[in-house]
A and B are shown apart, each in its own frame.
Chain A
């Protein structure tokens, strides 16, 4: 068999596998996020030390805008995270923030802590978000 044809076949196969894997990761990533958040809401955790109520975190400033979150706690579980302040300096930051916030929210709801990885591409926003969240958690433990 011609070497060139064989290698073209291998290259094409490898490309399809890599692209398919990436597309799959995108599809699964969205699926996984929704499934873990639903699990989280059903898991009641009175041992967490969080008192029921609504708590607003600190206002954090970054070079790309301001971030402030508000958490809702019921039966010791974080049931919701709202971003009460999320400003971008310009279109680009708006864009980053609006993509990062839902990802961070679902991560926080599933891990029930501020101990989650920052969203790549939105490191500054993530850090500010999680710092504000931690201060809200501290208040909830009050």
Chain B
């Protein structure tokens, strides 16, 4: 069919463009790191590595420049910049953000330690004796406070430590990183010659800060406020669809101009006395119209329980839309969708959003209990769009393919048998992390390239 062929070309081209953007973003990140080091080398004195002491000090300065560059990159990655979200998705941006945290901290600790040692060697002092004059230097006390705060921020974000905090508690501590970054600025600009007044390196450095703090201000503060007041979303009706599961019907103005696509999520905040301080990243469970939207969520913790009974008319603030669990991420001619439990919400919206020719899509719904909410809706959409529709019900298998029920595992069912065109498909999976990882592993083992795997972890 010419129509199918046409579409195939489009998905492949979209993917190439996105891959190119992604490569450019990665290259940009590495370039900023390299430039940070070069800034020092171009402005260094006659013999930056002439003596042992000078060499140690020079390395210390380079560590500080590169470490600070990493921190600024981390800020941009956490800023939910639309270009980054469209290219690699919010999840991966945050994963990169996390992976940079420890290297950045080590570089900044190295910066402090190497300079103390380097100056000590130059002047024949012990490194600790160098601490006094250093603290007496203008702006240095602030810089030490900044380093201390950065240690707190990174340590509280280590998986083992973070478990002990509520999200809100952790988040408040995490906001200290902005204070840390701000406190570190004066010593960078006033000490050392690398960023001396009236030089282009200083302009470059200030530009990095403008971009980092500008993206945070634009996309994490101003955009949510403007969107919230522009679209004035309110709770229309809370519909209980199963034990502990509700669909919240929302109404608002000009919602189409949000550009939200089925499969994306928003971070919602419901402004009642007991719920306003909790934010909820929840996917749309249907494609929004200009005046209405719907989300479906399950009570998974103390925060979402109160949501189950919020009154109609409650004001809702939004951040979003975010996410690449959408047709925009497609790279292949066919599409396979697997969803489990509450993970059905973005899968349903994705299916509704997708423009499909008959036989292009295959949908598999999975539950280990009896929670088949929205299954009838998915079945209806699948039928209307000519998608194949399968279900798997029953407790997880204890051997074999453990993401499916025991009897299916025993029958020898596999991803390839459910989705014969798997290797020509994009696989969208949404559900609990442990279950999802089993499917990812099987898909990769079956030969599905990583870029055709689109997962959304539902652990909230």
**A interface residue numbers (CB < 8 A to B):** 1-4, 7-8, 10-11, 14-15, 18-19, 22-23, 25-26, 29-30, 63, 88-96, 98-100, 103, 119-123
The 5 closest A-B pairs by CB, nearest first: A94-B45, A91-B45, A95-B193, A95-B45, A96-B193
B226 cross-chain contacts in A, Cβ below 8 A: 3, 7
Determine the main DSSP class of B at the interface with A.
helix
- Rounded to whole Å, the gap between the CB of A86 and the closest CB of chain B is 12
Q: Given A26-B200, A121-B190 in contact, is the A93-B45 Cβ separation under 8 Å? A: yes
Stretch at the interface among B91-99, B213-221, B389-397: B213-221
Is the pair B227, A25 in contact by a Cβ cutoff of 8 Å? no
Once the chains are docked, how many angstroms separate the CA of A63 from the CA of B198? 24
Interface size on B, residues (CB 8 A): 50
B43 cross-chain contacts in A, Cβ below 8 A: 95, 99
- Rounded to whole Å, the gap between the CB of A16 and the closest CB of chain B is 10
B194 cross-chain contacts in A, Cβ below 8 A: 95
A26 cross-chain contacts in B, Cβ below 8 A: 198-200, 202-203
Closest to A24 in B: B203
Stretch at the interface among B102-110, B204-212, B271-279, B348-356: B204-212
Closest to A18 in B: B210
Stretch at the interface among B47-55, B142-150, B166-174, B445-453: B47-55
Residue B381 at the chain A interface, CB threshold 8 Å? no
Q: Given A7-B219, A7-B222, A19-B210 in contact, is the A98-B45 Cβ separation under 8 Å? A: yes
Is the pair B218, A121 in contact by a Cβ cutoff of 8 Å? no
Is the pair B193, A99 in contact by a Cβ cutoff of 8 Å? yes
Is the pair A121, B210 in contact by a Cβ cutoff of 8 Å? no
Is the pair B57, A92 in contact by a Cβ cutoff of 8 Å? yes
Is the pair A4, B82 in contact by a Cβ cutoff of 8 Å? yes
- Rounded to whole Å, the gap between the CB of A64 and the closest CB of chain B is 10
Once the chains are docked, how many angstroms separate the CA of A123 from the CA of B230? 50
- Rounded to whole Å, the gap between the CB of A99 and the closest CB of chain B is 5
The total of interchain contacts (Cβ-Cβ below 8 angstroms) comes to 120
Contact pick for A92, options B61, B82, B211, B215, CB 8 Å = B61
A15 cross-chain contacts in B, Cβ below 8 A: 207, 210-211, 214
- Known contacts A92-B58, A120-B196, then 10 further A-B pairs from the complex at CB < 8 Å, ordered by chain A residue: A7-B218, A7-B223, A11-B215, A89-B122, A90-B54, A91-B54, A92-B192, A94-B46, A95-B43, A121-B190
Q: Given A91-B44, A92-B58, A92-B61 in contact, is the A120-B193 Cβ separation under 8 Å? A: no
Residue B417 at the chain A interface, CB threshold 8 Å? no
A94 cross-chain contacts in B, Cβ below 8 A: 45-46
Q: Given A91-B54, A121-B190 in contact, is the A14-B199 Cβ separation under 8 Å? A: no
Contact pick for B190, options A11, A25, A98, A123, CB 8 Å = A123
Is the pair A96, B133 in contact by a Cβ cutoff of 8 Å? no
B195 cross-chain contacts in A, Cβ below 8 A: 121
- Rounded to whole Å, the gap between the CB of A12 and the closest CB of chain B is 9
Determine the main DSSP class of A at the interface with B.
helix
- Rounded to whole Å, the gap between the CB of B114 and the closest CB of chain A is 12
Once the chains are docked, how many angstroms separate the CA of A25 from the CA of B203? 9
Instruction: Name 26 interchain pairs, CB-CB below 8 A, sorted by A.
Output: A2-B258, A2-B259, A3-B223, A3-B226, A11-B214, A11-B218, A14-B214, A15-B211, A22-B202, A22-B207, A23-B203, A88-B45, A90-B51, A91-B47, A91-B57, A93-B45, A95-B44, A96-B192, A98-B45, A98-B193, A99-B196, A100-B196, A119-B196, A120-B190, A121-B193, A121-B197
- Rounded to whole Å, the gap between the CB of B404 and the closest CB of chain A is 40
B230 cross-chain contacts in A, Cβ below 8 A: 3
B46 cross-chain contacts in A, Cβ below 8 A: 91, 94
Is the pair A22, B259 in contact by a Cβ cutoff of 8 Å? no
Residue B138 at the chain A interface, CB threshold 8 Å? yes
Residue B6 at the chain A interface, CB threshold 8 Å? no
- Rounded to whole Å, the gap between the CB of A22 and the closest CB of chain B is 4
Once the chains are docked, how many angstroms separate the CA of A15 from the CA of B47? 36
Contact pick for A22, options B51, B206, B215, B219, CB 8 Å = B206
- Rounded to whole Å, the gap between the CB of A108 and the closest CB of chain B is 16
- Rounded to whole Å, the gap between the CB of B147 and the closest CB of chain A is 19
B214 cross-chain contacts in A, Cβ below 8 A: 11, 14-15
A95 cross-chain contacts in B, Cβ below 8 A: 43-45, 192-194
Is the pair B203, A121 in contact by a Cβ cutoff of 8 Å? no
Q: 8 Å CB contacts to A: which residues of B108-129?
A: 118, 122-123
Contact pick for A29, options B198, B210, B215, CB 8 Å = B198
- Rounded to whole Å, the gap between the CB of B221 and the closest CB of chain A is 10
Closest to B200 in A: A26
Closest to A11 in B: B218
Residue B191 at the chain A interface, CB threshold 8 Å? yes
